[in-house]
Structures are given as structure tokens and as C-alpha cells.
Amino acid sequence: MIYYATSILLILIGMYAVLVKKNLIKIVIGLSIVDNGIHLLLIAIGYVKDGTAPIFSKPGLQASQMVDPVPQALVLTAIVIGLAVTAVALSLIIRLYDHHKTLNINKIRKLKW
Amino acid sequence: MRKVIAILLLFIIGYYSLDVLLKIPFGESAGGVGKHYLESTIKETGAVNSVTAIVVSYRGFDTLGEVTVLFLAATGLGAILYDKKAKKRALQNASVIVKTSSKIIYPLIALLGAYVFVHGHLTPGGGFQGGAIIATGVLLMFISYRSFETNHKALSIIESLAGMTFVTIGFAGLIYGTSFLQNILPFGIPGELFSAGIIPLIYIAVGFKVGAELTALLDNLLKTIK
Amino acid sequence: MNWLTIVVVILSIVLIIAAVFAVYQKDLLLAVIGTSAVSVVLSVLFYILQAPDVALTEAAIGVALTTIIFVITIKKTKRFEE
Amino acid sequence: MSPVHFIAIPLFAAFLIPLAGKVSKELVKIIPGLVLLYLSFVSVTLFPIGTHHPVVEIIAGFKPPFGITLYYGAIAAFLTTLITLIGFVIWLYSYKFIIREPIEKYYMLFMMLITGSTGIVLTGDIFNLFVFFEITSIAAYSLTAFLRDRDGAEAAFKYLLIGSFASTFFLLAIAIIYANVHTLNLADIAVKIQDVPVTTRLFVLILFLIGLGIESEMFPLNGWAPDAYSQAPSPVGAVFGGIVVKAAVYSLMRIIFLMFNSHDVLHFLLVMGIITMLIAEMSAMKQQQIKRMLAFSSIGQMGLVIIAFGIGTEPSVRAAMFQMFNHALIKSLLFFSAGYLVFHSGSKKISALDGLGHDKPITSFFFAFGALAIIGLPPFSGFWSKLYILLSIADAGLMVPVVLILISSIIEAVYYLRVVSRLYFYKEEATDVRRTPVSGLIAMGILTVVILLVGFYPNLILNWMTPAAADLLNKASYIKFGLF
């Protein structure tokens, strides 16, 4: 239960940063926090009480006593996608800074909302 | 004003998502597809690590997409930060101690990365993790040596070839088996290095590709403007 | 309540504090360190949740690479939030 | 021959292009064209099979719901063919239009965007859909900023911000679905989601509406679109209007019809569609820049499509698909011609276009042609789809949407004709000696011919729309074939 609460809190904190913060890099930080929250949520969904990691590394491990591997596989993919989006976002920020010499969203005409 | 609206909105989202999540039982044993994967990983894929089996075999198509996403990020970053005049990195030369130690550590990091992606089907880790580790090693060299240059041509060739290898393995499955990305090689004995059919092959390709991509990405970021 | 639960509770609190710190800190470099702290704690939590693969990925990508590209960007732009 | 070619071949090409660039610069430009030609060949061979009987392709040899499947039914056949066709003309147009380095990267991004959008259309797995969505979006963000000017970077960042927010919601929805039904296969989810508590389903629906509605340009989530369309290079505007939005709308509709098929949801769509359409058309009226105007018009047209889907009857869905087809063709034509009009006049402003009709008769003709077609005048294809949409709405007994659509068509006519009249009835100012390249003209010519042909023989397309509409509406058959 605590995992669910933590992950939702993380998502909300990240979203708050995206919605309220004026600094471009802060907004991207917010996005990555949201991503982290969802990853935690997914892993928590797959957790099995007293389960073991889904690797048959030694004999005698029971499949029924293992945590669900699917969310883990999804999170692996999602982490890489998050990195890709962050990289593109940051490169855009470098471009924007080059043009505007500021990271403040209010001083960049089109980004006001 | 904006803050108030944002907080209100977030409160609503938070309330409803908690409400929905509390209905999900926590910690119960895996059901549905997860259960099936756990029970038949070894039989159907020959891999010991069922996360790897899912990532590379059951949901191998996602991984192809994932590789594409990284490739896309490297390409997009290159396009966005493109500059006719190649710039030098603006980092200072590090001290002798850092230089010497990074020279020693760098091959070890690369080796660790390679180990991680070769053993993806046996231990935690795999192509993405291994590739990321290798890229961090190269970054260490970037930081310590001002003049350390990666061979761009070689990097982009590795990137391309590794990507094409992945797709080709996929088509081989279609040609020699029945479906795209099908595991057509023998599984061998589960738990050994040479087992699990195409899984290690794919992870090696992914490892090379991710390593090259992330290196190119870092190099691009470090070199542009200012 | 066993010891693992207590560890998890403490880690969760650290996680939230690090996230809030990352959002509120005016110095972007420190804020990025806050996000990487979030990633470190997450990676430990993933390990506790029996997901070593994800923990390794989060450590390699979330902690190392994401932080590095943030730091590079901050170096190329501005360090302090206005 | 199998549907996986649609995804794997462009991807292979994207990996190949940097290698080809080492050999020759010209090869970089030719490869995407060859790939798209090959894909149209695949389309032609698979199309009759897919419309007749859905082809379900298994990936990696695991039966659904354990492996990922591709579902190539009538609607997927239609949309992949459309994407291939539009992709091909966009390539032709780009051949001479994109002269700014890095050309190599442009084509790589373009190829991956094709991969992503065909993937969205074909995949039968919800997480795979997410992955392809991200591929399409990241390619779109990068292409928006391709010119690297100030406005382009701003538009791309705005797009990225809203897009990442959307994908966050999408991922959250997937997490909640997986937690409840423990499966990721779309058909399997459609079966099992019936047992999920209503509040959970509602929450998931809202998440999907936000996540996919952003790319589908639904109100109020379309703030990114005008900037992205107008700041990106012109062929990329056509990519958005012709490929990305179509794929996104399809995936949204597929999910709604599979998982949340109820009258309330459809009514909600109807209302959102109407609001989207009206606001967009009125905003288009006020625009000073031609590409922004086209962008708002595009949003308005998508509103119309969403209205037609929201009616949810077989004829209306058929008409909606037909409208999607027409809009993809016509909007691409408009973006192509506008691209060269802007290029020749040297300004993005509508007021700068005065008298270009005399100086650049062919390009202007194409623009005027596209304008008349999109308004929905009789001999053009746009007329038929609009007519069928109106008829199907009237059949459903709803008169208010009919009136509103007619009003918005009038608004549309006003602002398009305003531009056309500027082209022809104003005094010529300066002449531009540069000529529109032949490849661009051929691209526009192909679109014109298809629009006219479909305008005269609407049944050519409409006959294929019937199985497509059935494919979307018939949940039982999707489940049957999707799960074997």
C-alpha cells in the first residue's frame, strides 16, 4: 500500500512542477519525476508478497513464489523511453537558450499558456 | 492563481487514482500472462532470467521499438543540435591522477558492460544496461582527456550494423521459422552461456547499439554551441 | 511490522523529500542532484521489490546517464532559476 | 508476404541510411522512396486479403495473449495503404524541398515516423501501441524543430511537453489495466475489462482520452498543433495532418470501441468533436499566417471526423473513414502548395500572397484546387465524405450537429476563398524567378489526380470502407480473430 501512495505522490509532485514551474529545466525534471513515479507504481503492481526475483538462478525456485515479471519488462522499456524523451527535451532547451538567452518560460513568447 | 488551479487539479487526480489503486490487491501472486511466462520461460525460451525472456523473446517487438526510440533520440538530438562547424568540447583537462586512473578504469568499465550484456539471459542486466555502462565509461574518458575523440564514422557504422542485425534476426525468424523474431536457434542447456537461442545474439546487438548511440548522444551534447 | 517495512517507509519518505527538494531548489545543479537521489532510492526500492533487472537499469540510466545529460545542459545554459 | 514488413522495412531503412550516406548523398534521398514503393507493393498484395479476412500475424512465435500480435484487418489495411501513399508523395515533395542539412537525419526521422505510425495502426498489444506512439511522437518532435530556428524550437518544446504529459497518462492507464486484468493483448483486455469495477473503467477511459486525445487534436488538448504545424517544414505539416493524426485517431477509436463501447462515451465524443470543430474553424478565420490557418482547419476537420465516430453507426463510421482519407490527401496537397507559396512570397503571411496566382500559376492552381476540395464542393472527393457524414448524422436523428457542421463549412469556405481570391484577384507585385521543382509538382499532381478520381467515382473508396467500418464496430470478430 505504501508503494502506491508513494508513487502517486511522486507523480503529483512531478506534475506540479510541470504545471507551475517557470524554468524549462525544472519542467523536464518534473517530467522525469512523473516517469519515476509510474515506474514505481508498475513494479509495485507486480510485487508478490515474500516473492523472489523472477530468475531461475538456482534449482528449487518455485514459479508461484516469484514476482510478476511483466511489469518489470515494461518498466525496462519505459525507462529507456524516458531517457530518450529527456534527451530530446534537453537538446531543445539548449536550442531555445541559444536563441533567447533565458530559461524562463514567460519570456519565451510561444510557450506561455 | 495558477498554483491554486494546479493543486486543485492534482488533488482530484490524486484522489481518483488512489481510489482506483486501492481496489487492486497488493502482493498477490502473479496471474494472467505473468503466471504463464513464469511457468514456461525455460521451456519456451531457454532463458533462466524470465524478465530477459519477456523483454527479448515474448515481447521482443517492444525491444525493437525501444532500440528505435533510442536511435531516434540520438538522431533527433543530432538534427536539433546540428552545426556546420564542428565544435570542441569545452571541458578542462583533468589532473594526472584522474587521467591515469581513468585510463585504467575505462577498459574495465567497458569489459563490465560487455559482461552485463552477454550474460543478460542468465543474470540481471542485458543490452540496455550494458550499453549504458559502456557509455558511462566513454564519458569518463571525455571528462579526463580534452583530446579524447570517438571515431564518429565507426560509431555510426556500429549503430547501423547493430540495428540492421536486429531486424535481420527478426526476418530470419520469418524465413526459417513461422514468425518475425522467432527463436529459431536451439535453446541449449538453460543456465549456460551459450543457451537461449537468439536471446544473447539480440542482446549483444542491442548492447553494441545502445553503447554506440549513447556515446554519440553524449558527444553531440558536449560539443554543441558555446 | 517487520524491519523491512520500516526500511521501506523510511526510503519512501526520503524519496518524497528528495523529489520536493528537486522541485523547489533554485540552484538547478542541486535540483538535478535531487532527482538523481530520487533515482538512487528508487533503485533500492526496486531491489527490495525483487526487480534486480529494473534496479540495475535505473542505476545505469536513471542515476548515471540522465543526471549527466542534465548536468551538461545546465552547464550549457544557466545554473540558477530566476 | 506479411504485415510485419510495414514496420520492419522502414526501420531497416532508417538504420541503413547512415551507411548509405557514407557512399553517396543521393542514395540517402533515394532509399526512402524505394522503401515506400516497396511498401505500396506490399499494400497492394495484402489489401484484398486483409479486407476479406483479418490477417493476425504473430511476433516471435507465441500465441496471443502471450506474444505480441499484429492485427491486419480491413481498417488496418486501409490505413497502412493511406500512410504508404501519403508517405510516398511526401517523400517526392521533400526530395527537392528539404535542402537544409542534415538531410540524412531528416530521412531517418521520416522513416522512423512511418514505422511508428504503421506500428500504431497494426499492433494488437496495448504496450506495444505505447512504444510505437512514443516512436511517432519523438520523431514528430524532432522534425518540428528540424529548421532549428527560434519558433521551431519553441513549437517543438511545447509539443514535447504536452506530448510527454499525454504519454504519462497513457502509461498510467496501461498500468491500471494490467493491474486489473493481467494481460496486455487488446482483444484479451476487451474480454476481461467487462469484470472491472465501473469507477476504474471510467478513470482509465479518462486517462486514454487525455493520452490519445492530445495527438488526435481533440479540444482542449490541441494547443500544440497550430505551432507545430506552422513552424515545421511544410512536408512535415503534411506528415502531421496526413499520417500522425490519422494513426492517433484510429488508435483512440479502436480502444474506445473495444473497451468502453457505451452510448455515454460516444455522446461525449460527439460533443467534444463539435466543440473542437467550431473553435478550430473560428480560430482559423482569425489567422494571419497561411500555415497556421491550415493547422486550425486540420483540427476542425478532425473534429468533424470525431463527430462522425461519435455517432457510432455503421454508415457514420464509414463516412468518418472516408473523411479521414480525403482529409489526408487534401490537407497534404494544401500543405505542399502552401509550402511553395510561402517559399516564393518569402513570407508566412497570407497578405504576402497577393497576386501569386499570376506569377506562379501551377502552384496556386493546386492550392485553389485543394481549397475547393476541402470545403466540399461537388466534383471533388471532399464533397462526398461531408455529404455522407451529414446524411449519417441526419439518419441518427440528430439535427443540431448537422446545422453546426453546415455553419462551420460556411466559415471554412470564407477563409479558404479569402486566400484564393488574394492569389488571383489582387495585383501582382514582385516576381520570383525561382521555379517550383518538378518533383514537388509531381507530388501535388498525384494528389490532385487521386482527389479528382475519387470525386468522380466515390465508390472506388467507399466500397472498401464498408468492411473497414464493420471491422471497427464489430468487437466480437476482433476478439475472435485477435485471440484465435
* Separation between Cα atoms, residue D293 and residue D160, nearest integer Å: 22
Quote the distance between the C-alpha of residue A69 and its chain's center. Answer: 19
Grid coordinates given for B86 = 564542428
Half-sphere exposure of B44 (CA within 13 A, CB side): 20
In the predicted model, is pLDDT for residue B109 greater than 70?
yes
List Cα–Cα distances, B52 to B118, B128, B202, D457, in angstroms: 12, 11, 11, 53
* Separation between Cα atoms, residue B43 and residue C27, nearest integer Å: 53
DSSP D377: -
Q: Which pLDDT does position B191 carry in this prediction? A: 65
Domain hosting residue A102, numbered range: 2-52+61-111
Question: Is C66 within the bounds of a domain?
Answer: yes
DSSP B124: S
Q: Which pLDDT does position B151 carry in this prediction? A: 74
Task: Give percent of chain B with pLDDT exceeding 70.
Answer: 87
Q: What confidence tier does B30 reach under pLDDT thresholds 50, 70, 90?
A: low
Residue D371, H or E segment: helix D361-375
**What count of residues does chain B have?**
226
B213 at interface of D, judged by CB pairs closer than 8 A: no
Residues 6+ apart with CB under 8 A from D289: D230, D348, D349, D350
Question: Is C82 within the bounds of a domain?
Answer: no
Q: Which pLDDT does position B42 carry in this prediction? A: 75
Torsion of CA D357, D362, D365, D369, to 10 degrees: -160
* Separation between Cα atoms, residue C19 and residue D74, nearest integer Å: 48
Domain hosting residue C25, numbered range: 3-76
Q: To 5 degrees, how large is the angle CA D469–CA D472–CA D476?
A: 120
Residues 6+ apart with CB under 8 A from A68: A45, A46, A47, A48, A54, B30, B34, B35, B38, D182
Contact B221, C72 (CB under 8 A): yes
Contact B131, B115 (CB under 8 A): no
DSSP D71: E
Please provide the average confidence, as pLDDT, over all residues in chain D. Answer: 87
Q: Which pLDDT does position D377 carry in this prediction? A: 83
Q: To 5 degrees, how large is the angle CA B137–CA B142–CA B143?
A: 95
B46 at interface of D, judged by CB pairs closer than 8 A: no
For residue B20, what is the nearest residue in chain A, using CA coordinates?
Answer: A4
Cis geometry, peptide bond prior to residue D102 (ω within 30 degrees of 0): yes
Cβ contacts (< 8 Å) between C69 and chain B: which residues? 217-218, 221
**Under an 8 A CB cutoff, do B14 and A94 touch?**
no
Q: Which pLDDT does position C13 carry in this prediction? A: 92
In the predicted model, is pLDDT for residue B226 greater than 60?
no
Residue C6, H or E segment: helix C3-24
Subunits close to B (at least 3 CB pairs below 8 A): A, C, D
User: Looking up cell 525456485, which residue turns up?
Assistant: A61
Grid coordinates given for D83 = 500512410
In the predicted model, is pLDDT for residue B148 greater than 80?
no
Domain hosting residue B121, numbered range: 2-223
**Under an 8 A CB cutoff, do A88 and B80 touch?**
yes
3-state percent helix, strand, coil for chain A, nearest multiple of 5: 75, 5, 20
**Under an 8 A CB cutoff, do B54 and A69 touch?**
yes
List Cα–Cα distances, D277 to D71, D76, D166, D272, in angstroms: 31, 26, 21, 8
- The minimum CA-CA distance between A109 and chain C, rounded to whole Å, is 17
Contact B211, B134 (CB under 8 A): yes
Cβ contacts (< 8 Å) between A80 and chain B: which residues? 66, 69-70, 128
Contact D384, D463 (CB under 8 A): no
Residues 6+ apart with CB under 8 A from D404: D274, D277, D278
* Separation between Cα atoms, residue B148 and residue B146, nearest integer Å: 6
For residue A71, the domain's CATH number is: 1.10.287.3510
User: ipTM of the predicted structure?
Assistant: 0.93
For chain D, which residues make up each domain, given as ranges? 5-483
Query: Do at least 3 CB pairs under 8 Å connect C with D?
Result: no
Residues 6+ apart with CB under 8 A from A47: A3, A67, A68, B26, B27, C49, C50
Please provide the average confidence, as pLDDT, over all residues in chain B. Answer: 80
* Separation between Cα atoms, residue D231 and residue D245, nearest integer Å: 17
Residues 6+ apart with CB under 8 A from B176: B184
Contact A29, C31 (CB under 8 A): yes
Nearest to D59 among B19, B60, B71 (CB): B60
List Cα–Cα distances, C62 to B118, C56, D174, in angstroms: 22, 9, 22
The count of domains in chain B is: 1
* Separation between Cα atoms, residue B75 and residue B81, nearest integer Å: 10
Quote the distance between the C-alpha of residue D394 and its chain's center. Answer: 26
* Separation between Cα atoms, residue D285 and residue D420, nearest integer Å: 14
D67 at interface of A, judged by CB pairs closer than 8 A: no
Q: Which of residues 46-75 of C touch B (CB under 8 A)?
A: 51-57, 60-61, 64-65, 68-69, 72-73
Q: Which pLDDT does position A112 carry in this prediction? A: 52
List Cα–Cα distances, D335 to D5, D154, D390, in angstroms: 29, 21, 26
Low-confidence ranges of chain D (pLDDT < 50): none
A13 at interface of D, judged by CB pairs closer than 8 A: no
Cβ contacts (< 8 Å) between C4 and chain B: which residues? none
Grid coordinates given for D183 = 494481460
Secondary structure (DSSP) of D334-352: HHHHHHHHHHHHTSSBGGG
Query: Can you tell me the mean pLDDT for B84-110?
Result: 73
The count of domains in chain C is: 1
* Separation between Cα atoms, residue A60 and residue A68, nearest integer Å: 18
Q: Which pLDDT does position B79 carry in this prediction? A: 87
Residue D177: what are its φ and ψ, rounded to 5°? -60, -45
In the predicted model, is pLDDT for residue B146 greater than 80?
no
Contact B202, B127 (CB under 8 A): yes
Nearest to A93 among C32, C35, C73 (CB): C73
Burial, B86: exposed, middle or buried (Cβ in 10 Å; 0-12, 13-18, 19+)? Answer: exposed
Helix axes D245-259, D263-286, angle to 10 degrees: 160
Q: Which pLDDT does position D428 carry in this prediction? A: 66
Beta strands in B171-216 (DSSP E): none
Contact D217, D272 (CB under 8 A): no
pLDDT tens for the 113 residues of chain A, in order? 788 888 899 999 999 988 888 888 999 999 999 999 999 998 888 888 777 777 777 776 777 778 888 888 899 899 999 999 999 999 999 888 888 888 888 777 655 54
**Under an 8 A CB cutoff, do B6 and A51 touch?**
no
C-alpha radius of gyration, chain B, whole number: 22
* Separation between Cα atoms, residue A109 and residue A107, nearest integer Å: 6
Residues 6+ apart with CB under 8 A from A10: A33, A34, A36, A37, A40, C15, C16, C19, C38
Q: What confidence tier does B182 reach under pLDDT thresholds 50, 70, 90?
A: confident
Residue D70, H or E segment: strand D69-72
In the predicted model, is pLDDT for residue C61 greater than 90?
no
Q: What confidence tier does B94 reach under pLDDT thresholds 50, 70, 90?
A: low
Residues 6+ apart with CB under 8 A from C57: A75, A76, A79, A80, B128, B129, B132
Residue C2: what are its φ and ψ, rounded to 5°? -90, 180
